Amino acid sequence: VHSLQISWLLFVFFSSDIEISRAQSPKAVDVLAKEIGLLTDEIEIYGQTKAKVRLSLLERLKDQPDGKYVLVAGITPTPLGEGKSTVTIGLVQALTAHLDINSFACLRQPSQGPTFGVKGGAAGGGYAQVIPMEEFNLHLTGDIHAITAANNLLAAAIDARILHENTQSDKALYNRLVPVVNGVRGFSAIQLARLRRLGINKSDPGTLTEEEVSKFARLDIDPSTITWQRVVDTNDRFLRKITVGQANTEKGFIRQAQFDIAVASEIMAILALTTSLQDMKERLGKMVVANDKKGEPVTAEDLGVTGALAVLMKDAIKPTLMQTLEGTPVFVHAGPFANIAHGNSSVLADKIALKLVGETGFVVTEAGFGADIGMEKFFNIKCRASGLVPSVVVLVATVRALKMHGGGPNVTAGAPLKKEYTEENLQLVADGCCNLQKQIQIAQLFGVPVVVALNVFKTDSVAEVDLVCKIAKQSGAFDAVPCNHWSAGGRGAVKLAQAVEKAARQKNSFKYLYSLELPIVEKIRIIAQKVYGAEDIELSLAAQTQIDRYTRQGFGNLPICMAKTHLSLSHQPERKGVPTGFILPISDVRASIGAGFIYPLVGTMSTMPGLPTRPCFYDIDLDPITEQVKGLF
Amino acid sequence: VHSLQISWLLFVFFSSDIEISRAQSPKAVDVLAKEIGLLTDEIEIYGQTKAKVRLSLLERLKDQPDGKYVLVAGITPTPLGEGKSTVTIGLVQALTAHLDINSFACLRQPSQGPTFGVKGGAAGGGYAQVIPMEEFNLHLTGDIHAITAANNLLAAAIDARILHENTQSDKALYNRLVPVVNGVRGFSAIQLARLRRLGINKSDPGTLTEEEVSKFARLDIDPSTITWQRVVDTNDRFLRKITVGQANTEKGFIRQAQFDIAVASEIMAILALTTSLQDMKERLGKMVVANDKKGEPVTAEDLGVTGALAVLMKDAIKPTLMQTLEGTPVFVHAGPFANIAHGNSSVLADKIALKLVGETGFVVTEAGFGADIGMEKFFNIKCRASGLVPSVVVLVATVRALKMHGGGPNVTAGAPLKKEYTEENLQLVADGCCNLQKQIQIAQLFGVPVVVALNVFKTDSVAEVDLVCKIAKQSGAFDAVPCNHWSAGGRGAVKLAQAVEKAARQKNSFKYLYSLELPIVEKIRIIAQKVYGAEDIELSLAAQTQIDRYTRQGFGNLPICMAKTHLSLSHQPERKGVPTGFILPISDVRASIGAGFIYPLVGTMSTMPGLPTRPCFYDIDLDPITEQVKGLF
């Protein structure tokens, strides 16, 4: 085995991810679908290697017991990432292809922006990949495009509505909103619903009083309160702050606005948290986009656009089936931001996968960022939305990140690694394990057993690897195992799979960290203190005002989605290890009412990445003869 | 038959397009693909009712003779449209399902903007539809989304590049563009190509002189000359004129910009005109986005983004197969604007369809707007790009539009029709036939026989219908036939199909209207005089300057794509019938170098529609149980 591993290593060393991806022909997706027990009319095939899975499956399998539910989270990462995606894929490859246990990986769909910007793709890497990786990293089955279309239709509707209200009398507005068509004048279903919400129980447009006409026809949006932004799935820094409405046709109603990257849209968070088409439609309708001039929330439903948004999202709600390099099944579905949103793939994919693997099978999903953020949100937000109970947390660590936490020099994307990271240094490793220990403890707050997966790099020494595993076990991990999935595929994660399988048989005492009934401030404080290790929190005036507003508007009982840096347990990215003695500053508080969470801002969060001087696309090309994509990684 | 037609009429009268669409279950697209002779590995299925067709088919069938090529064009329309799409679909239904002649309809993909804005969908209507119409009108197979992504990546690259050049020295810029990776410094393939274009025959980054470094690293884009705009597929009027770059991170480099609707992107025009993956990549690279400070064109290739654009467009280049209500095959592919672009569906779809129908079969495609615009561009731009020779022009007319040209009152979308249009009025019809006659003559300029298809409405009298057909034949049409496809499907267009089949057997003397070698001004003048009937053209100073610039830059030999109103043969929409004695004013001249045409602006062209007070989406809804879309029409 050892010499085989070396030859693999050599091959991997000289092969790019896309070459490895291409060297393995994926099986036809209809064959894969059949293997995992899907019926012909439960899938919608998109090309040879992707298929959408219909939600009707949940009804058919409703009496099937769920499989085991495994979350892959990480320690506080370096800017290079610690390999959570490759661990997720390596683990399911080990379970299914090597241990013969049904398993499913549920992954986030990556944004196309970073694929062409700085980061490159996100399909895993080496011998733990989703294939074909170019399909995974490009349009996939169009879900992010659907989100962009829905998000921007709503944005256009807001500004157009304000313009039309500003330039027309109540009567003119009403006549246009409720026109005579073929001699008949009637409200549409959407308009009747609005009348009911306004307490006007009439259905004949001719019978409304002047006051009712005005109430019905005017949303009276306060433009300064608009929180709904436009999106593109492109790293376009020049759209971070813009002025819109400067053409003459918009009659001087200019305002400042911004574009976010598409995955920052609340609609993406909804896609990730929804449990059915009906639920998605309700969430879309509840999205608050602004306040009216009286301070009351204005929703997508008020704008009459709920149905259109649901129509645009009707296919996006179906998870996309793909496969790993070893032919095991993967769902790719939703990919919300991990700061202003909750950074987890979809509830629906997990639910369907848990039915498909059966009682003895495993579903492995991944949370963005470190465990202090992604895992905390997985438990408190995602599991609350789904009602699912996780069995095991796999905590991914690297010797590199631990050395950084132990006091090693800065790690920067693009710059060569310092020698501390390429040569053995047991002291740095030992000192840095405090971060690992703290992240284990965070997972234990939720009552779930932790298996540490040490993602081994070729520069790691045996002594370093042994040391990490020893400390991890001393710190309360159920087990700690070195993994070589990147170079060896599922075979390199067999020990991890065995440990996870064993941990999943432990008694489960899963619990949420806080009750929803607590005041918003209390919920924020619990996360700050218990998870981040802050002494306390400090609210800005703006934050306090928003909290009061949301509480008054009836949104006080939502879970909290902290928008904090992932590069430190604290709010200061440069503070590595386990920072103590800090007060967490909450600069502002916002809400995604449709998705169903309040998100406090801990510092400024960029919602639009930029293109660097040398973007990834300099290496990306298409061979017009073979149709092969080059340079995606 | 007659009573059957009446019962159909009654059913149609009480049924919306989407209800008719839904009442007919489409056959599975793989069954359809097999029927028309596609091999299994030549299609990529998207769900049950759509499939992309691989271009490899063209190679397999290269020795197969082409079928007959029919263009559906129209007289100068009312704002309500005269039914070219329904004629196109009715005609192929008649040919294939009723006359047993192989045929294919090739249609444009509609923009989603108008679907949710004013216009509604574009799948045809009544019993001459593409089904499922909601698939046709929504995301389809993602081509417009791919165009949006590619277009906006290029836009982001332009602004980011200007920022990086403005804030870095030559050396810093060069070091970032050509970094040391794993101890090695090298140019990427894209950069080597740029060096060759600059005449620098070096491949070792260390050997460039300071001057060469500067030349390589700086594009020196003049921001005031940027013609590349961002796009969204949403009617978002507030993006017509905006200011970008106002965040601090963009360091004060703000500029005025705009978003166009996605289908106005030059990439859409390229998709419609390209003949292969290689050709598309070359066209994408040639797109001119701005001038540098010396007045030389800056291209997508200069920005290093050609490969990434081709990667984003690699699936969009494959036409999408759907079906009519009567189960006959349809390609839906590309949908460029009909004013600033050429308004015709793709060359590739037509080419593939012509092979598939075989020598005795028919391919029917449609040109946007009236024949003076869509047809002229079809011949002079699209046929030139494809090398295909059209056999017949079907010219669609309605009694309604002819009455308008004969002096009838204004026809406005949304307002009830005046009685002139609902009661018999032979004088108005007779007077209005001048427009029909002129459009027939325009088609004859190209040496192609014309069959007039009178799209009959239920308010048209027999005498009116007979009169139009008589005048049409007197005016040089090969034949003129009333059509009832909307209420009767293919059966209602059998006479049209027979006339078209007969006309296609005529001797063909197809010719272009002008030689590409003529100066730009001459080409514009020929179109203005021979097609529109203008006395002459008048160039603004801006137009003359641009013509001189394009000529100097080597773009003088491209065909001309006039951006003129479609509501009159002249530049003044209110002038109906056959305007004479006018001078056509050319306010500006622009160019789509990748698509391969120069487009003179005759007046202002809006490239971003808006949402009205009561947008279509007020009627659109999704039933969460049945998953059915309501209110699309």
What share of chain B has pLDDT > 90, as a percent? 88
How far B34 CA lies from chain A's nearest CA (Å)?
A: 16
Residues B567-578: b if buried by 16+ CB within 10 A, e if exposed: bbbbbeeebbbb
Question: Which tokens hold the place of A129?
Answer: 């990949």
Q: Decide: pTM greater than 0.90.
A: yes
Q: Which are the contacts of A38, defined by CB distance < 8 A and separation ≥ 6?
A: A53, A57, A321, A356
Q: Average per-residue pLDDT in chain A?
A: 94
For residues B423 and A589, give the distance between their C-alpha atoms in angstroms, rounded to a whole number.
64
Tell me the count of A-B CB pairs closer than 8 A: 283
Give tens-digit pLDDT for B136-182: 999 999 999 999 999 999 999 999 999 999 999 999 999 999 998 87
A239 contacts chain B (CB < 8 A): yes
Residue B558: closest CA among B283, B198, B291, B343: B283
**For position B201, what pLDDT does the model report?**
94
Is A286 part of the annotated catalytic residue set? no
Comparison of pLDDT for B1 and B152, the residue scoring more:
B152
For residues B71 and B53, give the distance between their C-alpha atoms in angstroms, rounded to a whole number.
22
How far A84 CA lies from chain B's nearest CA (Å)?
A: 24
- Pairing between β-strand A184-185 and β-strand A180-181 as defined by DSSP bridges: antiparallel
Confidence tier at A17 by pLDDT (50, 70, 90): confident
How far A304 CA lies from chain B's nearest CA (Å)?
A: 6
- Of all residues in chain B, the one with the smallest CA distance to A628 is B311
For residues A79 and A413, give the distance between their C-alpha atoms in angstroms, rounded to a whole number.
6
What share of chain A has pLDDT > 70, as a percent? 97
Q: A143-166 vs A266-273: helix axis angle to the nearest 10? A: 130
Which residues of chain B are within 8 Å of residue A56 when distances are taken between CB atoms? none
Segment A211-218 mean pLDDT: 96
pLDDT exceeds cutoff 80 at A324 = yes
pLDDT exceeds cutoff 60 at A9 = no
Segment A479-487 mean pLDDT: 96
pLDDT exceeds cutoff 50 at B8 = no
A121 contacts chain B (CB < 8 A): no
Find residues 418-457 of chain A whose CB sits inside 8 Å of chain B.
none
Segment A401-413 mean pLDDT: 94
**For position B1, what pLDDT does the model report?**
30
Give tens-digit pLDDT for B494-537: 999 999 999 999 988 999 999 999 999 999 999 999 999 999 99
A605 contacts chain B (CB < 8 A): no
Q: B426-445 vs B462-474: helix axis angle to the nearest 10? A: 30
**For position A119, what pLDDT does the model report?**
67
* Cβ separation A112–B244 shorter than 8 A: no
- Of all residues in chain A, the one with the smallest CA distance to B417 is A182
For residues B417 and B406, give the distance between their C-alpha atoms in angstroms, rounded to a whole number.
16
- Of all residues in chain A, the one with the smallest CA distance to B239 is A244
B252 contacts chain A (CB < 8 A): no
Give tens-digit pLDDT for B67-94: 999 999 999 999 888 999 999 999 999 9
* Cα distances (Å, whole numbers) of residue B308 to A414, A462, B167, B197, B454: 21, 42, 25, 19, 47
Is A136 part of the annotated catalytic residue set? no
* Cβ separation A614–B176 shorter than 8 A: yes
Which residues of chain B are within 8 Å of residue A171 when distances are taken between CB atoms? none
**For position B120, what pLDDT does the model report?**
63
Which residues of chain A are within 8 Å of residue B250 when distances are taken between CB atoms? 237-238, 240-241
Across the interface, which of B242, B610, B614 has its CB nearest the CB of A246? Answer: B242
Q: Average per-residue pLDDT in chain B?
A: 94
Find residues 293-312 of chain B whose CB sits inside 8 Å of chain A.
304-308, 310-312
Confidence tier at A1 by pLDDT (50, 70, 90): very low
* Cβ separation B156–A618 shorter than 8 A: no
CA A372 centroid distance within chain: 15
B223 contacts chain A (CB < 8 A): no
Listed range (A198-212, A373-387, A591-605, B412-426) with the worst mean pLDDT: B412-426
- Pairing between β-strand B50-53 and β-strand B43-46 as defined by DSSP bridges: antiparallel
Annotated catalytic residue within A116, A187, A478, A486: A486
Q: Give the catalytic positions of B in this structure.
A: 84, 86, 108, 119, 338, 369, 457, 486
How far B187 CA lies from chain A's nearest CA (Å)?
A: 10
Confidence tier at B121 by pLDDT (50, 70, 90): low
* Cβ separation A308–B617 shorter than 8 A: yes
pLDDT exceeds cutoff 90 at B437 = yes
Across the interface, which of A237, A414, A620 has its CB nearest the CB of B311? Answer: A620
pLDDT exceeds cutoff 70 at B314 = yes
pLDDT exceeds cutoff 80 at B15 = no
Which amino acid is residue B134, in one-letter code?
Answer: E
**For position B24, what pLDDT does the model report?**
79
What ipTM does the predicted assembly reach? 0.95
For residues B363 and B355, give the distance between their C-alpha atoms in angstroms, rounded to a whole number.
9
A244 contacts chain B (CB < 8 A): yes
Is A62 part of the annotated catalytic residue set? no
Sign of torsion over alpha carbons A404, A409, A410, A416? negative
Confidence tier at A120 by pLDDT (50, 70, 90): low
- Of all residues in chain B, the one with the smallest CA distance to A190 is B618
* Cβ separation A238–B188 shorter than 8 A: no
The enclosing H or E element of B621 equals strand B621-622
Confidence tier at B39 by pLDDT (50, 70, 90): very high
Listed range (A136-145, B383-392, B414-423, B596-605) with the worst mean pLDDT: B414-423
* Cα distances (Å, whole numbers) of residue B450 to B105, B257, B395: 18, 44, 7
For residues B4 and A615, give the distance between their C-alpha atoms in angstroms, rounded to a whole number.
64
**For position B119, what pLDDT does the model report?**
67
**For position A13, what pLDDT does the model report?**
44
Which residues of chain A are within 8 Å of residue B619 when distances are taken between CB atoms? 188, 190
Give tens-digit pLDDT for A523-572: 999 999 999 999 999 999 999 999 999 999 999 999 999 999 999 999 99
- The reply to whether omega before B132 is within 30° of 0 (cis) is yes
Which residues of chain B are within 8 Å of residue A628 when distances are taken between CB atoms? none
pLDDT exceeds cutoff 50 at A62 = yes
Segment A302-328 mean pLDDT: 97
For residues B463 and A205, give the distance between their C-alpha atoms in angstroms, rounded to a whole number.
41
A188 contacts chain B (CB < 8 A): yes
* Cβ separation B160–A112 shorter than 8 A: no
For residues A78 and A410, give the distance between their C-alpha atoms in angstroms, rounded to a whole number.
9
Find residues 554-583 of chain B whose CB sits inside 8 Å of chain A.
none
pLDDT exceeds cutoff 50 at A10 = no
